[in-house]
Each structure stands twice: as C-alpha cells, then as structure tokens.
Amino acid sequence: MVVRGVRHSLVFPADIVRPVMADDQTPRPPGQPDDYPSGAGQGWTALSYLVGGMLVWGFIGWLVDQWLDTGGVATGIGFVLGMAGGVILVIRRLGTPT
Amino acid sequence: MFGQANVLAAGQAEFPPSVEDFYLPSILPWGAHDSYWVTKFTLMIWIAVGVLIIFFLATYRNPKLVPTKKQWFAESIYGFVRNNISVDMIGHQGVRFAPYFTTLFCFVLVTNAFAIIPLFQISPNSHIAFPAILAVISYVLFNYIGIRHHGFGKYFKHALIPPAPWYILPLLIPIEAFSTFIIRPFSLAVRLFANMFAGHMLLLVFTLGGFAMLNANAWLAPVSVVSWVMTVALTLLEALVIVLQAYVFTVLSASYIQGALAEEH
Amino acid sequence: MDVLAAVNGSTAAIGYGLAAIGPGIGVGLVFAAYIQSTARQPESSRMTLPYVWIGFAVIEALALFGIAFGFIWAK
C-alpha cells in the first residue's frame, strides 16, 4: 500500500497511527537524498581515505620492494603516492561545495 | 561473576587485569575448560533479544490514538530513529529502513548497557564476534541495496570511480575500493568493540586496583577509596559512551545506505 | 675520544613526537575556525563544511607521514 507517497509492502502502525508524532518537518525537503553523507559520515570517510590510501599504496610499494629489492625506497614512494591519492580523493569527494 | 572479587578480598590480588578476564567460565557444561559455547555472554544475548521482543510487543498490544505511557515511550524510540537517523540521512526513502535501524539501535544499546548493569557488568560487544556480525549485516545490506538500485556493474562503477581526470584514476581506484569495501565494515565492528573493551578494562583497573592497594598495605585505604570514586565517575562516562556508540553505529549504517542509493554525477 | 654524554633509545620516537606538534595545532585551528564561523553565521555551516575536510586532509597527511616514517626509519 502507499503511505504518504511511498509504497510499502509491510506497514507499521507507528507510521499510520501517529502522523503528528511522526513529525514530517525534516530540516531538508523530502525527495532528493543529499549528495554527501553528513557530519560523522564525512569525517570517518575523510580519515579512511587518508589512512587507506597510505596503507594500500604502501603495501603495493612494499611488494615492489620485495620484488625488485630496492631496500625501502619503493615502500617510501608508495606511502607518499598513497597519501597524495588520499588527499586528492578527499578534496574531490568531500571538498566540492554543493 | 563474584569469583574475582572474592579472591581479591581474600588477599590474592589479580592485578593488573588482562585479556584473560574477558573469557568467562562456561555454563553448559558447568566449569568446563576451553568450552565457550554457553557462557554468561550467551545468556546476555538471549536476555537482550527477549527484552526487546517483549517490550515492543507488549507496548503495541492495543495501540490507541492517544497513546498510553508505554506506547508513547516505544513510539518515541521508533520516532527518534526514524526521524533523526533514517529520514535525516536517507531522505524520505529512509522510512523503509527505519525498522532495521530501530532494531539495530535498540539491540546495540541494550547489549552495551549490560556493561554497567549490576550482576552483568560486561558487554557482549567486548568480544569482537558480536560487533563483527552486526557490521557484516550492515555491509551486506548496503551493498545489496546498491546493487539492486543501480544494477551490478553500474553500482561498482558509481562506488569506485571518483570525479577526477582520467590519468590519476589508477592511483585513486585501489584507495576507493579499499576504503569502501574493506575499511567500512572493519571500522564499524572495531569502533564498537574497542569502545566496549576499553570501557570495561578501565572499570576493571580502577576496581581491582583499589582492592590490590588495600591488600598490599592497609595505610593505602584512602587511595583505594579515591580509586573506587574514579570507578563511579567512569561508570557515568561509560553510560555516555554506550548511548553514543549505539547512535554512531546506526548513523553510519544509514549513511552507507544513503551513499549506495545516491544518484550522482 | 671519550664519550662524555649519550642518549640511548629510539630517536624515531622523539622524531614522531616532534612531528605530531604541528598537525595537532593545525587541525585544532581548522575546527576552531569552523566552529567560530558557524557561531557567527549558522546558515553558512553547510557551505564551509567542504573546506573543513580539505584542510583536515592536507594537515592530517603530514601527521600520518609522521607515523609511517617513524616505523620506516626506526632502527
């Protein structure tokens, strides 16, 4: 059935019985979800891009190191590249104003 | 559960507490070594599930238009999760997910709350297994929702390809993949686990430390009392952490589902 | 030549400690600016939030380098 414009297959009483309680005054107009997760989600995303970038490319750099036996240089390059990649990702995904 | 305190009071301090203190004795079979299938944790999980089912069933037995007190309480919880978490993060499609988020929030809240309730005094979430399963459920859910909404190939294209010029994409795509598909579930589980583990460990340190000091030298009694006052203060802090971690787990799950459903670029 | 004084231990640990000062102050400045600007004009909070993440990412990069190179350069 359709409740307030959204089709549900299973409707819970709290969604019908208490329209006043349900309090449809959400701060943003319903309809379009936001482009970015807000607040806490963005913070953890930024941190995970930075740390993840460093880990992934550091690991790839370490593998190259083991293969070519360059004694640590490739790992260092991997860390720096990964960090640069992480920063670029944060700027592109979270840094463009809506 | 009184074993440790009794041993301490008898004069053998088990200070400092270690990871071994998190392995509780087996209940079925009673006292067996290395058998962890039925312990206090199992009972706590069953009690949590029972409490939640009975609570929501009983308060919604005969719903009235002007709510009774219990009905209002249950509706407040559902309304809070639905409005401030589901609809805020996902938009009006969020109503579909509100039951899952309410269950998740209430379950994490109740199991976390066992950390400060007398006679239980440890949270099942201080073993990595329980947060791990909850994180896996959220992980499978947001990926499934994304794949069902966008189609299999388009979902991965949308999730993995950031808005950047084509020549640096090879640098960025492994980072995106790692961040979205590995760090997300891992961090969901570890965040909850680490908070509960650390909270319980702190309470253990201050409680057992008070006993250990008392057993070492009777003149240290005032310092022991200070240690126990710290335990009370930390219990209050733990209450805050309990609610906050339940909220953060649910909000992040909602945010991942929102990311999977977003139409962009 | 006689050794008159010596310091034993890990200079990587000292290096990491020194490296953590700058980013700590920097991230504090970024979030302090965001909180102040939101306090002065709350409607601007959504507009300035992306710049918070840019600033945080660039500054935190240096802090994370500190950790990583602390392990690489430790003896």
pTM: 0.81
Going by C-alpha positions, the residue among C32, C23, C33 that lies closest to residue C57 is C23
Give the per-residue pLDDT at B7. 52
Q: Which domain holds residue C55?
A: 11-73
Read off the tokens for B170.
Answer: 């090879």
> What percent of chain B shows pLDDT beyond 70?
94
- Residue C4 inside a domain? The answer is no
C positions 35-64 inside 8 Å of A (CB): 46-47, 49-51, 53-54, 56-58, 60-61, 64
Indicate the residue of A15, A30, A44 with minimum beta-carbon distance to B91: A30
Residue B124 contacts residue B41 (beta carbons within 8 Å) = yes
Contact C73, C15 (CB under 8 A): yes
- Interfacial A residues in 1-40 facing B (CB < 8 Å): 3-6, 8, 12-15, 17-18, 21-23, 26-28, 30-35, 37-38, 40
Beta bridge partners of A2: A7
pLDDT(A69) > 50: yes
Instruction: Report the residue of chain A nearest C48, measured CA to CA.
Output: A97
Chain A CA closest to residue C68: A79
Residue C74 has pLDDT above 80, yes or no: no
Cβ–Cβ under 8 Å, residues B4 and B21: yes
Asked if omega into A97 is within 30° of 0 (cis), the reply is no
pLDDT bin (cut points 50, 70, 90) of residue B94 is confident
Q: Could you say which DSSP state residue B81 is in?
A: I
- The region of weakest confidence among B2-16, B146-160, B201-215 is B2-16
- Cα–Cα dist B99/B101, whole Å: 5
Rounded to a whole number, what is the distance in Å from the CA of C22 to chain A's nearest CA? 18
Residue B146 has pLDDT above 70, yes or no: yes
Residue C2 placed within a domain: no
Average pLDDT over residues B170-194: 93
What is the number of domains present in chain C?
A: 1
Closest residue by Cα to residue A94 from B183, C60, C56: C56
Round to whole Å and give the CA distance between B71 and B65: 10
Q: What is the pLDDT of residue A26?
A: 40
CATH number of the domain where residue C50 is located: 1.20.20.10
- Tell me the residues of chain A between 1 and 30 that have a Cβ less than 8 Å away from chain C: none
Q: Check residue C61 and give left, alpha or beta (phi > 0: left; psi -120 to 50: alpha).
A: alpha
To the nearest whole Å, the CA of A1 is away from the closest chain C CA by 36
Q: Is the pLDDT of residue B12 over 70?
A: no
Q: What is the mean pLDDT of residues B172-192?
A: 93
pLDDT band at A86 (very low <50, low <70, confident <90, very high): very high
Chain A neighbors of B252, CB-CB under 8 A? 40-41, 44
Q: Are the Cβ atoms of C64 and A83 closer than 8 angstroms?
A: yes
Quick check: B86 and B253 in contact, CB under 8 A? no
Q: Are A and C neighbours with ≥3 CB pairs closer than 8 A?
A: yes
CB contacts, 8 Å: A83 with chain C = 61, 64-65
- Look at residue B57 and tell me whether its pLDDT is greater than 80: yes
- Could you give the CA distance from residue A94 to residue B45 in angstroms, rounded to a whole number? 39
Q: Which two tokens stand for residue A21?
A: 């309680």
Chain C residues touching residue A42 (CB < 8 angstroms): 49, 53
- The shortest CB-CB distance from A87 to any of C46, C57, C68 is to C57
ipTM for the predicted complex: 0.75
Name the residue range of residue B138's domain: 3-261
- pLDDT: is B99 or B4 the higher one? B99
Average pLDDT, rounded, for chain B: 88
| A50 exposure class (CB count in 10 Å sphere: 0-12, 13-18, 19+) | buried
Does the beta carbon of A88 lie under 8 angstroms from any beta carbon of chain C? no
Tokens of residue A77, six digits: 């390059």
Q: Which residue of A has its CA nearest to B65?
A: A17
- Residue A84 structure tokens: 């640069």
pLDDT > 90? residue B37: no
pLDDT of residue B251: 92
Cβ contacts of residue B219 below 8 Å, gap of 6+?
none
d(CA A66, CA A75): 9
CB B55 within 8 A of CB B42: no
> Would you state the pLDDT for residue A98?
63
C68 touches chain A (CB under 8 A): yes
Contacts of B184 (CB under 8 A, 6+ apart): A48, B139, B256
Whether residue C57 and residue A86 make contact (CB cut-off 8 A), yes or no, is yes
Give the nearest chain A residue to C31 (CA atoms): A43
- Domain limits of chain A? 37-98
Q: Is A41 on the interface with B (CB under 8 A)?
A: yes
The minimal CB distance from A37 to the residues B83, B164, B255 is found for B255
- pLDDT of A31 above 60: no
In this prediction, residues B64-91 reach a mean pLDDT of 89
Q: Could you tell me the pLDDT band of residue B191, with boundaries at 50, 70 and 90?
A: very high
C6-35: pLDDT as tens digits: 878 888 888 899 999 999 999 999 999 999
C1 in a structural domain = no
**Greater model confidence, B246 or B13:** B246
pLDDT attached to residue B158: 87
